[in-house]
Amino acid sequence: MKFGASTFIWSSPLDDAAALSLARRVAGLGFDVLEVCVEDPALLSAEGVAKAGEEAGIAISVCGAFGPDRDISHDDPAVRAAAAAYLRQCIDLAAAVGSESVSGPMYSATGKARLLEPAARERQWAWAVEGLAECAEYAGERGVGLAIETLNRFETDLVNTVDQGIRMCADIDAENVGLLLDTFHMNIEELSIGEAIRAAGPLIRNFHACENDRGAPGDGHVPWREVVTALTDVGYDGLVVIESFTPEIEEIARAVSMWRPLRTSGDELAGDGLAFLHGLFG
């Protein structure tokens, strides 16, 4: 198992200088991986991100940020094309820095929630599948996978449960497409987190270990022993990433409803979370 920390814990939007600083920071805290969240691709270079990982001695994982102008299931084909173009930029970065996958809720815009008629929902789903299938082919040619993240009902109206994520992977039908599971979202949506993990099985390409309040793992009521048992049952031995946010970054705080700090610092949250995960996974 490799343990990672998301750049969202400390910084947004990320640039080369911040990537270098955070790579050193997370390495110093004992992490194996820095999950680089690409909000503005113009601020990040493959050379800068690769240098950050190499100098700190840690691996890089790439995660996308999907706002309203990066909605691959949008009614407007121009918006869908822009979303695909952005995802290809993330794929190119991942290929250049050695990230096995690009992760995130790439099927829609985060925060898009509409009560649609079944036919309209199926059109939205079909547009997502079509666009992601094309991006998966592009990624496969570059040795990169896609890890589709299921989000809770308050952050998306399209893929909330692991079962829905499994269906989307099946519809895309590409060997390099799988799932990013996140305990924060599963704690809201799944009747059994353990059974959801077992259902995903070999589709799991990334895993976010987040507490029920999005704070440090171990602080809340997520059933962590159940999580570990299920991951062991399916033979998962990949990334386990702590993702949290700070209310000091107002745009992100509004998007995820983060109205108060959960720890005194990002370092404390990440460091204590990592110590808990090391003890948990043995």
**Domain annotation covers residue 158:** yes
**pLDDT tens sequence for the chain (282 residues):** 999 999 999 988 999 999 999 999 999 999 999 999 999 999 999 999 999 999 999 999 999 999 999 999 999 999 999 999 999 999 999 999 999 999 999 999 999 988 899 999 999 999 999 999 999 999 999 999 999 999 999 999 999 999 999 999 999 999 999 999 999 999 999 999 999 999 999 999 999 999 999 989 999 999 999 999 999 999 999 999 999 876 766 766 677 777 777 777 899 999 999 999 999 998
Name residue 104's amino acid. G
Predicted local confidence at residue 87, as pLDDT: 98
**Domain annotation covers residue 30:** no
**Domain annotation covers residue 41:** no
Clarify whether 243 is annotated catalytic: yes
**Domain annotation covers residue 228:** yes
**Domain annotation covers residue 93:** yes
Predicted local confidence at residue 113, as pLDDT: 87
Clarify whether 149 is annotated catalytic: yes
For residue 26, how many other CB atoms are within 10 A of its CB? 29
| Backbone region of residue 73 per phi and psi (left: phi > 0; alpha: psi in -120 to 50; beta: other values) | alpha
pTM: 0.95
Q: What is the DSSP string of the chain?
A: -EEEEEGGGT-SS--HHHHHHHHHHHHHHT-SEEEEEES-GGG--HHHHHHHHHHHT-EEEEEE---TTS-TT-SSHHHHHHHHHHHHHHHHHHHHHT-SEEEE-TTS-TTB-----HHHHHHHHHHHHHHHHHHHHHHHTTT-EEEEEP--TTTBSS--SHHHHHHHHHHHT-TTEEEEEEHHHHHHH-S-HHHHHHHHGGGEEEEE---TTSS-TTSS---HHHHHHHHHHTT--SEEEE----TTSHHHHHHHT--S-SSS-HHHHHHHHHHHHHHHH-
Q: Report how far residue 39's alpha carbon sits from residue 104's, in angstroms, rounded to the nearest whole number.
A: 12
Predicted local confidence at residue 253, as pLDDT: 67
Give me the CATH number covering residue 97: 3.20.20.150
**Domain annotation covers residue 169:** yes
The catalytic residue among 149, 155, 190, 211 is 149
Structural domains of the chain, count = 1
The catalytic residue among 39, 189, 211, 243 is 243
**Domain annotation covers residue 173:** yes
Torsions phi, psi of 246, nearest 5?
-120, 135
Q: Which domain holds residue 239?
A: 59-264
Q: Report how far residue 277's alpha carbon sits from residue 134's, in angstroms, rounded to the nearest whole number.
A: 36
**Domain annotation covers residue 36:** no
